[in-house]
Amino acid sequence: MARTRRRQPRSPFAVGLIALLVIGILVFLGFTKDIPFTRGYEVTAVFNSANGLRPDSPVRIAGVDVGKVKRVEGQQGTDNAVVTMAIDDSGLPLHEDATLKIRPRIFLEGNFFVDMSPGSPGAPELDDGGTIAVTQTSTPVQLDQVLTALQSDTRQDLRDVLEGLGTALSSKPTAADNRDADPAARGETAAKSWNDAYTDAGPAARSQAQVNEAFLGTEPEQDLGRLIEGTGKTAAGLVRNESELKALVTNFNVTMGALASENANLSASIRELAPTLENANAAFASLNAAFPATRAFAREILPGVRETAATIDASFPWVEQMRGLVSNAELQGLARDLSPATRDLARLTDQAIELLPQTDLVSKCARDVLLPTGDVVIRDEFQTGRENYKDFFYAMAGLAGEGQNFDGNGMYVRFQTGGGSQQVSLGSGNAGTPQQFGGLPTPPLGNRPAYPGKLPPYVNDQPCYRQTPPDLNGPAAAKTAPIVGQR
């Protein structure tokens, strides 16, 4: 029978070393709660204040724990706090536009946690070890901060603001305020006018809703994204050109000051805006109605436009022939023969420069005096209802018909032949000649227009078109008794 070999006992030193090693590992795991030589996803965030946040505080997304706070440190040179967080796989991915808020776990005071929003899916993902800027973080307002903000002077200012607001809403307007106010708001307090505004609030809100709906665009998701992207590019461009932006603000201030100095004219222009828009709507309607014909014309002209290039190419030989036709070899002495006529034409042009102003005065006289006077209807016992220039030409036509035959004494038609027992005064002659008399076979009915006893004044220092047209139906046109005298 073989003899059984006994196992040698382990050394007490080895057993103690192994026990110390196991105890050390357990203590490390108990205090660090982390597996050695492994590190999960970590992210750093900068807060204005840590607000009692401490290591092992939870990190939540939508109320679900997705990680914990590893370290809370101060940022060198500032009062900010730098918080390092370990995020589990359930909280990934995080994006560069992620936002964080420190929130209390108990009302007003108590423990705090980090409420995280992972960001928009379209933004780039945040790398492991990345940092979220202080502009994307926020901290809760503590009760002591509220009490500190409402100091005695602040409370007094708030009281003054509330009193001023109450006075502004309840005080009656003065006479000067009523003169400048809209007629519908005269005599009303600001609170009453505010209540009256609710009458127009409904239609205005509906119109605003239509405007907001129009702002959404035809493709809301893409349009809004492009709008935000364009706004970002605009803001970036303004940041790059800070000096130009400053000049723009200064010029804008000057422009607004100029507009304020012309507020009366601006108000008048705004009042004319409504009828202008009405006329513009009518013009746009006419323009819209003209578009079908314009489109049809455009379609019809397309073949001709397509042939324009070929037409131009075909005209080049003709242009070449015409160029040779008008050359010196062909024209020979034509230009020399035309030179005298050209000189005369130049002199005529120079003289026409002096003639045209006179012609303009004659045209204005005919437009403003002669033609308006001829358009007047004579209101007398012989009136026909026609303009007097028509009666004049009708009389000329009738006279030509009556007197188309003639004898040695002239035409057959004669008016008021001399001789008779009825004596009338013909007035004084020119250059101081004595008063003249005449004789008529029948009694005269009267004078029209009334004879003023002297020649009417002749205004020779004013052009004809600026003088007052005669009143053909006025007092001077009334029929007066004949001037009868004795020899």
One DSSP character per residue, 423-437 reads: EEEEEE-GGGPPEEE
Q: How many CB atoms are closer than 10 A to CB 447?
A: 14
pLDDT digits (tens, 9 = 90+) for 407-421: 666 666 665 556 777
Q: Which two tokens stand for residue 110?
A: 């108590």
Nearest to 168 by CA among 184, 192, 186, 149: 192
CB contact set of 193 (below 8 Å; sequence gap of 6+): 185
Q: Say how many C-beta atoms besides its own lie within 10 A of residue 274's C-beta.
A: 9
Q: Where are the domains of the chain?
A: 23-145, 150-205, 338-401
pLDDT tens string 53-95? 888 889 999 889 999 999 999 888 888 999 999 999 888 899 9
Which letter, b or e, does each residue of 112-127 get, where b requires 16 or more Cβ atoms within 10 Å of its Cβ?
bbbbbebbeeeeeebe
Query: CA 85, CA 53: separation in Å to the nearest integer?
Result: 12
Write down the mean pLDDT value for the chain: 80
Instruction: Report the pLDDT value the prediction gives residue 202, as an integer from 0 to 100.
Output: 78
Mean pLDDT value across residues 304-316? 89
pLDDT at 486: 41
**103 near 138, Cβ under 8 Å?**
no
Structure tokens at 9: 């006992």
Predicted local distance difference test score (pLDDT) of residue 238: 78
Structural tokens at position 275: 């009828």
Distance CA 176, CA 179 (A): 5
Quick one: the chain helix, strand, coil %, rounded to 5? Answer: 55, 15, 35
Per-residue pLDDT at 443: 79
pLDDT of residue 29: 64
Question: Distance (Å, rounded) from C-alpha 100 to C-alpha 60?
Answer: 10
> Could you read off the pLDDT of 11-40 as tens digits, one per residue?
776 767 777 777 777 776 666 555 555 567
412-457, pLDDT tens digit by residue? 666 555 677 777 776 665 556 677 777 777 777 777 777 776 777 7
Q: Which residue has the higher pLDDT, 162 or 105?
A: 162
Whole-structure pTM value = 0.30
Tokens of 146: 């509220």
Rounded to 5 degrees, φ, ψ at 290 are -80, -15
Per-residue pLDDT at 43: 93
Are the C-beta atoms of 383 and 467 separated by less than 8 Å? no
Residue 114 near residue 58, CB atoms below 8 Å: yes
Q: List pLDDT tens digits, range 156-208.
A: 778 888 888 888 778 888 888 777 777 777 788 877 877 877 777 777 788 88
Torsion-angle region of 110 (φ positive above 0: left; ψ -120 to 50: alpha; else: beta): left
Q: Are strands 435-440 and 422-428 parallel, antiparallel or unpaired?
A: antiparallel
The average pLDDT across 461-466 equals 86
Distance (Å, whole) CA 174 – CA 186: 9
